[in-house]
Chains A and B, each alone.
Chain A
Amino acid sequence: MKITREGFRLVLATSLIGLASLNTGNNLMYLILSVMLSIFFLSLLITYVNLRGIRIEIEPSDDLFAGKTSRIKLRYSKKKSFLSSRSFSISAPPKGPLRIVDYVDILKPGGSIEKTINVTPLKRGMLSLKDTLILKTGFPFIFTENSIRQDVKGTLLIYPALKDIDLLMDPFISEGKRPFTGERDFQKIRQYRYGDDRRFIHWKATAKTGELMIKESATEETIRITVFFDNFRPPQEEAFEESISFAASLSARFIEAGYYVRFITCLKTIPFGTGMEHLRKILDHLAIISYADDFSCLIDEGESAGRSILILQSDASPLVRFRESSERVFYASEI
């Protein structure tokens, strides 16, 4: 609860009238004083009560990317009470991880309101909504303001910012653009891997071996790409975030161009795949990835087969060994 600048003026005026009333004993002055006190008291009381019993639930309508304004669904509800909540706003703390502003005119007791509003997350990660939003009101007047941290249940997953990398990667990406015509240049049968097109499952071989087997074509190799992402402790933290954003943008761009993308870090391997769902898997990982001080990278040397791109934090990373086999190498500090 805070008294505004106008509120302080009112308090000052009321105090002066109070002194004058006491001095003169003039009851009409006491009457004015009583009115001023009532208005101030009501302002305090209503401003306080106005935010009581409000519940907010958040549900993202779109994927949320750091730095990008997206749509989010908000549901305001109010517990049963006698009074409606009027004219309040929600916002995020100035130094918080979100930019969000919304205004509610009236929320009746026992009622609820659903709204879809804009939100701009400022950084990637798993954002806990507890104490992230501030409910604020000055209703009914302009003398007092009440703001409370709203306890919203749940979390939001914020993907890294996607950037335009066409200028940098276009020639490289266009090489891989070979649209599937239906005629497949059959090369070999191998074990099914996550992300493979199920239409090409070799059922006979599957029946024989008891494991899912798939027909692999020669052309398919050219539209597959592996992105190696190094999450060993970076020399500069800012560069690490930039590299994450770059890796996400790269994966998104490749998938958009029709590539089968595999994403490998020392902690996790996301097998080849394409489409939005696959991209979300990569982004899910990148949203929460953090750097490690020390780890033994378990990536098999054989994974380096095929076309790959390596994003390195520094030469001290264990992933340096894939430098030679990768078609392009990016250092975080240079991105």
Chain B
Amino acid sequence: MPQRYKVLTGLIAISGSLTLIFTGELNPVYYPFLFLMIYGYIRLIKNRPQGSRFVIGLSSIAGLFIFFIDVFIITGDYLVSVGHLSLVFHAIKSFDIKEPYDPLQVYFMSLLQLVVASEFTTQMLFGAIIILFIFLFIFVMIMAHYIKTSLQLGISIPLEGRGLKNALVLLVITTVILSTIFFISLPRLRYGLWGKSHIKGIKNAGFSERMDLSSGELKLDPTVVMRVELRPFKKGPYYWRGMTLDYFDGQAWSNSFIETRWSLKKTGEEFLLRTPIPEDSVEQDILLEPVDSDVLFLMDRPVSINITAHRMERDFSDTLYLPRKGARRIHYVVKSSPRLLPEVKFHPRYLQIPASLKKTLQPFTERLVSGIKTDKEKALFIESFLKKNYTYSLTVTEPPSGVDPVSYFLFEEKKGYCEHYASAMVLMLRSIGIPARVITGFSGGQINNIGNYIIVRQKDAHSWVEALIDGSWSRFDPTPLVITPEPEPPGIFLYLDYLKLQWQRYVVSFSREDQIKIVKGLKTSTEKIKIKIEDSIISATRAMRNAMGIVSIAFLFMIIISAVILSFLFFKIIISKRSSHREVSFYYVKLKRLLKERGFSIGDSSTPLDVFNYGLRSGLPEEELEEFIELYLSARFGEKKTDLKYYKGLFSRLKRAQR
């Protein structure tokens, strides 16, 4: 086996195993097998003896035994166990590559590792590995072809200096293009059949069915939760509404309407919430990472949602839910109309306040808003009061036992984060009889100018307030605007994030709907072109008819067709012959000139025989020179076609010989 073949085999094995390890799903106990495998391939490359059949067989049986223990007792997950097994087998195989066909098993094992890894990760790194795998696989398969051919024919075919680079590059590019075509056109089901995804969602995404005002950790997490493209693009502030919380038990908030969920009806590809869809609606193309929640995030006042889901639910408080928690990335397009008034559904729970709290909060709030007449002014005053008199902090001390966190925030600690501010305001409003609720979700986000989209991270998790004032739910955000000195990420990160978005959007989240869109797009473009051509023909014909009349048009068409046929014949019969003869003469004259430069007295009157004789005297090879002159004569005077490429080659050889 050639060294390069062994090295490439090792690289394929290592790339497959590393992909699997990078997913972070494997037990680190199995990592040493990677090093063992690398050692095995180093031995192979150094032509050290391979493992004995007995040891290899015994190790394989042991590996299988461990696999069964792993799958049934330790992990209980067949996919993870298969990943472990592939590492073990790769390591064993690295000591057992004797025949030129053995590496095939390695390639298929690496392929299996990629398949397993694809269930664990959706990182863009996977795409890079696929490209690397295509390159290595094609390279090694070309080498395998030569090895197989030399074995079959019993001849030695050296692999070096074969000019394979061009073939390799061409094959890789063609494979990438073909793979893209296959990827786009392979049939997909709208939903998977059975089994669950192994991709783990983002934990603690800043919202839940409960908000217990306990920790500020989330604010520091830069993990991307979603990426949003706005059409048309609008400047912030952005509020990505998630869950509505209405019930406070003294310690935490919860959504008491969660049981009132009902299914929404799907119309075509969309779930329509309001009809008709206003023309000024803002379209949000959202790619939501797998989060530990079934709530959808979107701008306020949605009117339609286009999502690859067979079912969606909504509750009394306008929270929107998927049928299950997002195990995969979810891509959906929401249309929201900011000018649309939300449906007002009052419920006494929006005035709920624990009795003990009401005792302290009511006089406090009434004192605060005394003299203010309207509910709206009261709410704005409370919002402003909280913003100005309380300090934003992620580190809060826990309230003493028996003290509720809102009273502790308002009267003792006087510092907190968004949840404290929102809770305090809602309860203050309720204490003076204004219906209010807490909304959790995300606020803001980083605008990536490369691609014009908004990156929303865990640290953007936020809570704000909605109050029912003058028959409409209005948003209030009592949390002071905290400008944390955050360094602007370097441009490369923005580029990378843009690539990630494209990767997630067009590869990881590519769906049947996208396929339909592409087909429809193609159909529309074809129809547009067809219509344009038809229009041009019709208008041209009309113009001609007006100018010339039908008989003249027919006559003109006949002339055009005849001209096309005549040109074709002229080209085929005359030009092609002439060009061949001209080209041949061109090289003949070139040879004459070369000989003249060497000092031979060649002029316009020199015959081909003179040229032949001078050529011989100048040391040109007789056979090739004779062929060159004969071909010239037969092309020039015999009107025979000459293979120009061959003739040019002949001339080049003569030219080289003369040097």
Contact = CB atoms under 8 A, between A and B. Distances in A.
Interface residues of B, number: 58
Interface stretch (B167-175, B212-220, B554-562): B167-175
B162 interface: yes
Contact of A141 (B142, B192, B507): B142
**What 8 pairs between A and B have smallest CB-CB spacing?**
A28-B118, A38-B178, A34-B182, A110-B645, A25-B192, A141-B141, A34-B183, A34-B179
A155 B111 CA distance: 51
B646 A38 contact: no
11 contacts: A22-B187, A27-B183, A27-B509, A28-B118, A32-B118, A38-B175, A39-B141, A42-B175, A103-B153, A140-B171, A142-B144
Tell which of B141, B162, B197, B508 has the most Cβ of chain A within 10 Å.
B141
Contacts of B645: 80, 110-111
A11 interface: no
B134 interface: yes
Interface in B171-225: 171, 174-175, 178-180, 182-183, 186-189, 191-195, 197
A72 interface: no
Contacts of B192: 23-26
Contacts of B134: 35, 39
A23 B174 contact: no
B450 interface: no
Contacts of A142: 141, 144-145, 148
B179 A38 contact: yes
Given A24-B192, A39-B141, 16 more contacts: A9-B104, A22-B193, A23-B194, A25-B192, A27-B183, A28-B126, A30-B186, A31-B127, A32-B111, A34-B179, A35-B175, A35-B179, A37-B182, A39-B175, A87-B149, A103-B157
Interface of A: 6, 9, 13, 17, 20-39, 41-42, 80, 86-87, 89, 91, 101, 103, 105-106, 110-112, 138-143
Nearest to A83: B170
B108 interface: yes
B148 to A, nearest CB: 5
B115 A35 contact: no
Nearest to A84: B167
Nearest to A106: B163
B476 interface: no
A87 B146 contact: yes
A28 B148 contact: no
B126 to A, nearest CB: 6
B155 A103 contact: yes
Nearest to A41: B178
A21 to B, nearest CB: 8
Contacts of B195: 23-24
A177 to B, nearest CB: 42
Contact of A35 (B101, B130, B154, B155): B130
A27 B507 contact: yes
A34 to B, nearest CB: 4
Contacts of B183: 27, 30-31, 34
Interface in B283-316: none
A143 to B, nearest CB: 8
B119 A13 contact: no
B590 to A, nearest CB: 20
Interface string B117-129: 0110110001100
Given A38-B178, A142-B145, A13 B191 contact: no
Tell which of A29, A39, A103 has the most Cβ of chain B within 10 Å.
A39
B584 interface: no
A39 B138 contact: yes
Contacts of A141: 138, 141-142, 144-145
Interface of B: 101, 104, 108, 111, 114-115, 118-119, 121-122, 126-127, 130, 133-134, 137-138, 141-142, 144-146, 148-149, 152-155, 157, 162-163, 167, 171, 174-175, 178-180, 182-183, 186-189, 191-195, 197, 507-510, 643, 645-646, 649
A34 B119 contact: no
B288 to A, nearest CB: 16
A105 B157 contact: yes
Given A24-B197, A33-B182, A33-B186, A13 B149 contact: no
Contacts of B119: 24, 26, 29
A21 B115 CA distance: 9
A266 to B, nearest CB: 46
A20 B193 CA distance: 10
A214 B111 CA distance: 87
Contact of B191 (A25, A38, A106): A25
Given A24-B119, A111-B649, A140 B153 contact: no
Contacts of B101: 6
B516 to A, nearest CB: 16
B306 to A, nearest CB: 18
Given A31-B179, A140-B171, A112 B646 contact: yes
Nearest to B163: A106
A38 B174 CA distance: 8
Given A34-B186, A111-B649, A140-B142, A26 B197 contact: yes
Contacts of B114: 32
B78 to A, nearest CB: 13
Nearest to A14: B111
Nearest to A29: B118
A27 B510 contact: yes
B508 A28 contact: yes
A41 B178 CA distance: 9
Given A29-B118, A39-B137, A106-B163, A9 B108 contact: yes
A66 B133 CA distance: 51
Contact of A31 (B118, B137, B153, B188): B118
A181 to B, nearest CB: 42
A172 to B, nearest CB: 43
Nearest to B146: A87
A40 to B, nearest CB: 10
A133 to B, nearest CB: 14
A20 B82 CA distance: 15
Contact of B167 (A32, A33, A37, A140): A140
Contact of A32 (B108, B130, B157): B130
Contacts of A29: 115, 118-119
A19 to B, nearest CB: 10
A42 B101 CA distance: 21
A111 B153 CA distance: 24
B137 A6 contact: no
Contacts of B163: 106
A42 B121 CA distance: 29
Contacts of A22: 187-189, 193
Contact of B182 (A20, A38, A106, A111): A38
A102 to B, nearest CB: 9
A9 B643 CA distance: 44
Contacts of A111: 645-646, 649
A26 B120 CA distance: 10
Contacts of B175: 35, 38-39, 42
A55 B217 CA distance: 76
A91 B189 CA distance: 48
Contacts of B144: 141-142
Contacts of B167: 86, 140
Contact of B115 (A6, A9, A20): A20
Tell which of B115, B119, B121, B193 has the most Cβ of chain A within 10 Å.
B115
A29 B115 CA distance: 6
Contacts of A41: 178
A75 to B, nearest CB: 12
B188 A25 contact: yes
Contacts of A31: 118, 127, 130, 179, 183, 507
Tell which of A28, A32, A33 has the most Cβ of chain B within 10 Å.
A28
Nearest to B188: A25
A81 B331 CA distance: 47
A39 B144 CA distance: 14
A34 B114 CA distance: 13
